[in-house]
Amino acid sequence: MKPAKKSTMDEYLKKHPFLKETAGLHLGLEKILSQLVKPVSFPEKADLIAYTKEGLPLLQQAGLQKRMAEAAAAGLGSMLAGLYDLMAPAMMKAAIEKWQEWAVQAEPETIQHFFGFLMRQEDGEIHELAETNQLNETMIRFLGWALIDALVPARVKDSSFWEHEAKWKRNYCPVCGRQAALAQLRKEQQGRARYLSCDGCHTVWPHKRIGCVYCQNIDLKKMHILEPEGEPEMRLDVCDECHTYLKTYNEEGAEDVYLRDWATIHLDLLGEEQGLRKKGSVLLASE
Ligand SMILES: [Zn+2]
Ligand SMILES: [Zn+2]
């Protein structure tokens, strides 16, 4: 994701001082990764269109997945070393050190396998690897996906490519295959159009405006909206069929703030209070 315009994010953080530490961690990580990591070279547009025609996301294609796993495994050591100066809680620092010890000793193939598990969302394998090596599962998911994200070229994450050229409208990410974590409603000539955003690789793509993006329920009597107090820019679209919610950005212009899951993490409380499930976050198992 390209860095937020400083003013927009600064203003937002002034209004949400409780996010300061979280912001320091996430923005710091993005900055470090953008300096350390060079994106993997992806196929040209015509090939991207052909590859995804039948609905198979790019990183689920054997060749690209392998290249991505190799690049991520090769970059893991320098990412972890680069995190030395990251403003992070002591517990996280300790977990990073532990992962660094593992990365130094592990065979390159073992590290590649880990990134394969992440990209294929093989939760059982990720859990087992974490448990066997006493690694913090949430942390390796979070940082693992941050590295994958940094390795995906920006041009592939652009919603206009998926909308106008590849014509991808499915309910999962065309690049990595994850379910959406956030949505945005944009004004069109007639009414509004919905775009979904991936928490793994931060690609944005169009999807039909009506209904639940997770279970495809289109019965509007089984959907409702929660409007958080004091945050008119955001709402939660709730599905009464599968009991999930989707945080949705209602406006345009501050995507770099509102299409980041961590920046609206306090709104998840509203969903949790109602016993609703969150989906799409890289921190969570895909179930
Ligand atoms: Zn993705
Ligand atoms: Zn649903």
- The residues placing their C-beta within 5 Å of ligand 2, an ion, are 212, 214-215, 217, 239, 241-242
pLDDT of residue 41: 94
* Domain's final residue, options 138, 154, 170: 154
Q: Both 148 and 17 in a single domain?
A: yes
What's the predicted TM-score (pTM) here?
Answer: 0.95
pLDDT of residue 249: 98
pLDDT tens per residue, range 215-230: 999 999 999 999 999 9
Residues with Cβ within 8 Å of residue 109, at least 6 apart in sequence: none
Q: Both 18 and 88 in a single domain?
A: yes
Task: Kindly give the distance from the C-alpha atom of residue 218 to the centroid of ligand 2, in angstroms, as a whole number.
Answer: 9
What is the rounded average pLDDT for all residues in the chain? 95
Task: Kindly give the distance from the C-alpha atom of residue 218 to the centroid of ligand 1, in angstroms, as a whole number.
Answer: 24
Asked, for residue 278, whether it belongs to a domain, the answer is: no
pLDDT tens per residue, range 136-160: 999 999 999 999 999 999 999 999 9
Task: Kindly give the distance from the C-alpha atom of residue 179 to the centroid of ligand 1, in angstroms, as a whole number.
Answer: 8
Q: Both 215 and 144 in a single domain?
A: no
DSSP string across 247-281: EEE-SSS-HHHHT-GGGGGGGHHHHHHTTPBP-S-
How far apart (Å, rounded) are the C-alpha atoms in residues 55 and 41? 21
Low-confidence ranges of the chain (pLDDT < 50): none
Task: Kindly give the distance from the C-alpha atom of residue 86 to the centroid of ligand 1, in angstroms, as a whole number.
Answer: 25
Asked, for residue 219, whether it belongs to a domain, the answer is: yes
How far apart (Å, rounded) are the C-alpha atoms in residues 147 and 71? 9
Task: Kindly give the distance from the C-alpha atom of residue 195 to the centroid of ligand 1, in angstroms, as a whole number.
Answer: 13
Check residue 78 and give left, alpha or beta (phi > 0: left; psi -120 to 50: alpha). Answer: alpha
DSSP count for the chain of H helices, then E strands = 11, 6
Task: Kindly give the distance from the C-alpha atom of residue 238 to the centroid of ligand 2, in angstroms, as a whole number.
Answer: 8
pLDDT of residue 5: 57
pLDDT tens per residue, range 239-259: 999 999 999 999 999 999 999
Question: How far, CA to CA in Å, does 162 sit from each of 106, 206, 252?
Answer: 37, 7, 19
Domain that holds residue 66: 6-154
> Which of the ligands is closest to the CA of residue 119?
1
How far apart (Å, rounded) are the C-alpha atoms in residues 145 and 182? 16
Tokens 């054997």 found at: 62
Q: Which amino acid is at 232?
A: P
Question: How far, CA to CA in Å, does 256 sit from each of 119, 181, 190, 197?
Answer: 24, 14, 25, 11
> Which of the ligands is closest to the CA of residue 237?
2
> Which of the ligands is closest to the CA of residue 176?
1
Task: Kindly give the distance from the C-alpha atom of residue 229 to the centroid of ligand 1, in angstroms, as a whole number.
Answer: 30
How far apart (Å, rounded) are the C-alpha atoms in residues 272 and 265? 11
Give percent of the chain above pLDDT 70: 98
pLDDT of residue 3: 59
> Which of the ligands is closest to the CA of residue 244?
2
Q: Both 79 and 160 in a single domain?
A: no
Number of domains in the chain: 2
How far apart (Å, rounded) are the C-alpha atoms in residues 210 and 223? 10
What DSSP designation does 178 have?
Answer: P
Asked, for residue 251, whether it belongs to a domain, the answer is: yes
